[in-house]
Chains A and B, each alone.
Chain A
Amino acid sequence: MKTLLRGLMIFFVLGLWEAVRRFDLVGPLLLASPTEIVDAFVKSWFDYVIALRLTAIEIAVALALAWTLGIGAGTIAGLRPFLNATTGPLLSSLFAVPLISWYPLFMVWFGIGITSKIAYAVVSGFFPIAINTMNGIAAVDHQYFLLGRAIGCSRRQLIFGILLPMAMPSIVSGLRIGTALIVIGVIVAEMLGSFGGIGYLISYYRSIYATAHVYLGILVALIFALVANWLLSLLERRFTHWRVMQIQQ
């Protein structure tokens, strides 16, 4: 019943959207109708596949780097109270600067190709992941450090067997923010200066007033956000289920 209602709702919105364009209530420059968007896809789907692939590669590489570096650096910082106290505020304030203002510099440093997109996305995703990991590790009760040492854990066992899992709820929320910023970062960076990717297509079609393509680009970008979100909820369920149960109690 719920799904049926939801389906009807979507159908209704699409119909309304189509009607608005058919009766020319809004100009073609501002809005493209669903059929126009489908048309745009049918005509140039191959361009989109190529762009999708490039953007996907950029996002995947940026994610792998930012997750690894962020969790790694956050763990190291979280284990050292001094580093934690000094870098915490610094990192937070660095993170508050609109990072996109740095992007022109990234283009100078890394060129117009794939490297500058990845570098920019890694930087934008790194901070929330590192900060959340650091806070998560630093919040683990001191008794757990003592327990780990008392039962004979090596440093590696202490970190991977006790501290990181304890910090997991905090880390996952950092990954959520970081991953969203990476998806946004890659697409925005492509829009600002590149020769490929979904962001590039959106920006290019906007400059030639092909509104239907701009909408199509936005829809494709949405796919990335949805896939990222889905992966993260899998991760959340796998690693922080105990936390959810604890809270529900």
Chain B
Amino acid sequence: MSSVRQVVIEAHGLCKVYGINRAPIIALKDVSFTVEEGSFVSLVGPSGCGKSTLLQVLAGLVPSTTGEVLVDGAALRQPAPKKISVMFQDATLLPWKRVSENVEFPLEIHGMRPAERRQRAAEMLSLVGLADFADRYPHELSGGMRQRVSIARSLAPDPRIMLMDEPFGALDEQTRIKMGHELLRIWEKTRKTIFFITHSLTEALFLADIVLVMSHRPGQIVGTIRADLPRPRTYEIIGSAEFGIARNQIWKLISQDDGEVNSNGMASL
């Protein structure tokens, strides 16, 4: 059934090498995978394994040294702001703009008319549950609310793909769990293709259909886990046997080339 779905992102043999003149650092090594339309894919791996580099390559922000990214079958060479939106660990809101103006900002850059973009921003804010905060400034909001504004801003241009670089990494655990639920709710409503980077095994598995596992340097994908867990996902799933088995699988993949395998799979959770 899922094989019928169209492929939106194809990564073919991506390599990224930094500092070629001096000691070269290999950030990505032969990374290949595909992402299907409307799916939720997460990429999990330890800090500094090249996750962010991969996201920047997928966003067209950084060129790969070799290999290529195809989006809808066409090679991606630069950012595609109307098709792909990017979210970062920090909400990166513009602090002098009100919440609604922040959501409008990409639309303003794309040249949308004021009335139209105001309307769109209002819709997005009510989608993320912040309709009442449209006139506030970012510093008046909590960290979780700021990331929700950031989600609204990402959604505003109606992109097909949302790339997220540890968007909840800076939040406390309770907020993080709530934001995960919130994101799933929004995803189920909008059916965007989401590529979500995290270093939390639990978060990766809880959110996604497919979990790509990346190893420590040099950055390569060491395995793909299909998360066949029922949707809509609830917090209880995390305690289920299937969840535990899948998480152990991920843990084994991550730790196998470290030489510090921990058989109970709990160390980094």
| A residues in contact (CB < 8 Å) with B | 141, 143-144, 146-147, 149-153, 157, 161-162, 165-166, 168, 239, 241-243, 245-246, 249
Contacts and interface: CB of A to CB of B under 8 A. Distances in A.
B61 A153 contact: no
Nearest to A150: B86
Contacts of A161: 105, 109
A150 B137 contact: no
A153 B92 CA distance: 15
B181 interface: no
B95 interface: yes
Contacts of A150: 59, 61, 79, 81, 84-86
A157 B94 CA distance: 13
A150 to B, nearest CB: 4
Contacts of A157: 109
B94 A162 contact: yes
B56 interface: yes
A149 B61 contact: yes
A242 B139 contact: yes
A173 B162 CA distance: 38
B133 interface: no
B95 A149 contact: no
B139 A246 contact: yes
B139 A147 contact: no
A246 B59 contact: no
B95 A242 contact: yes
B137 A245 contact: yes
B137 A141 contact: no
A69 B150 CA distance: 35
A141 B82 contact: no
Given A141-B90, A143-B88, A147-B86, A152 B110 contact: yes
Nearest to A240: B96
B50 interface: no
A152 B96 contact: no
A245 B139 contact: yes
Interface in B91-136: 92, 94-96, 105-106, 109-110
B89 interface: yes
Top 9 A-B pairs, shortest CB-CB distance: A152-B81, A151-B106, A150-B86, A143-B88, A246-B139, A242-B96, A242-B95, A147-B92, A143-B92
A151 B81 contact: yes
B79 to A, nearest CB: 5
Nearest to B82: A152
